[in-house]
Copies of this chain bind each other. A is one copy, B any other.
């Protein structure tokens, strides 16, 4: 157990959306965030699990997914440091999806009671949380568009660009690329493709001089053309600073 400070991951996350008052910050500071560690492949949250708690990722990558009866998996989103994860699983009685560690993970727990408590005492926090949730939803929507209406190469380009943009926001990547711990199976399950086809699309993108993915490193060889291919627009990721002052 450790006491969160004003610089806790949760505070940083929510400050991006709303300017928090001192009361807000004090309420946040009272949250007790138990620090937890997970290993690659560990399940942080299991679909159907009752009373799951939420987490804020401090280090590592996770993936949220759903399984189908026939054993197929659809990855809904990847989580990177500073991401809020499992919010829906505390709002619903049981978790509606699973979350698994892709790498070793450090995360701090956020109890459901803390969230509800914050709502009662610090309304701006409520707005901020709603905001964070809405931004997550927007990312799922963009993912839906990606899978529904783009070709394999375009989907891949879009996913890599999105991950790059998100990682840049938290200082884990730059215009040239980022370290990527995902396997081609992860990419396939996220993009609604087979692993075999992912493997044929990646060399294709590399040969065209657009992106390279090897040895866990994504390199943007020509981001402009890659964006054009993917129809990538960052608008849905822009944080633009707090809206409520």
* A residues apposed to B, CB below 8 Å: 66, 68-70, 72-74, 76, 87-88, 91-94, 96-97, 116, 119-120, 123-124, 126-127, 129-131, 133-134, 136-138, 140-145, 147-150, 191-192, 231, 235-236, 240, 243-244
- Contact between B127 and A74 (Cβ–Cβ < 8 Å)? no
- Contact between B145 and A74 (Cβ–Cβ < 8 Å)? yes
Measured between alpha carbons, how far is A53 from B126 in the docked complex, in Å?
20
Secondary structure type dominating chain A contacts:
helix
- Contact between A133 and B123 (Cβ–Cβ < 8 Å)? no
Residues of B within 8 A of A150 (CB): 68
Nearest CB in chain B: distance from A134 CB, A:
5
| Top 7 A-B residue pairs of the complex, sorted by shortest distance between their CB atoms | A148-B192, A126-B126, A137-B137, A74-B145, A74-B148, A120-B123, A72-B149
- Contact between A91 and B145 (Cβ–Cβ < 8 Å)? no
Residue A119 contacts which of B126, B149, B243 (CB distance < 8 angstroms)? B126
Residues of B within 8 A of A73 (CB): 149
Beta-carbon nearest neighbor of A235 in chain B: B96
- Contact between B88 and A147 (Cβ–Cβ < 8 Å)? no
- Contact between A96 and B138 (Cβ–Cβ < 8 Å)? yes
Given A96-B236, A127-B119, A147-B147, is A66 in contact with B231 using a C-beta cutoff of 8 Å?
A: no
- Contact between A91 and B240 (Cβ–Cβ < 8 Å)? no
- Contact between A91 and B131 (Cβ–Cβ < 8 Å)? yes
Measured between alpha carbons, how far is A243 from B119 in the docked complex, in Å?
15
Measured between alpha carbons, how far is A72 from B127 in the docked complex, in Å?
34
Residue A133 contacts which of B72, B93, B137, B145 (CB distance < 8 angstroms)? B137
Beta-carbon nearest neighbor of A122 in chain B: B123
Measured between alpha carbons, how far is A92 from B231 in the docked complex, in Å?
21
- Contact between B88 and A134 (Cβ–Cβ < 8 Å)? yes
Residues of B within 8 A of A69 (CB): 231
- Contact between B88 and A138 (Cβ–Cβ < 8 Å)? yes
Residue A145 contacts which of B76, B94, B141, B149 (CB distance < 8 angstroms)? B76
- Contact between A96 and B126 (Cβ–Cβ < 8 Å)? no
Residue A140 contacts which of B87, B119, B141 (CB distance < 8 angstroms)? B141
- Contact between A96 and B192 (Cβ–Cβ < 8 Å)? no
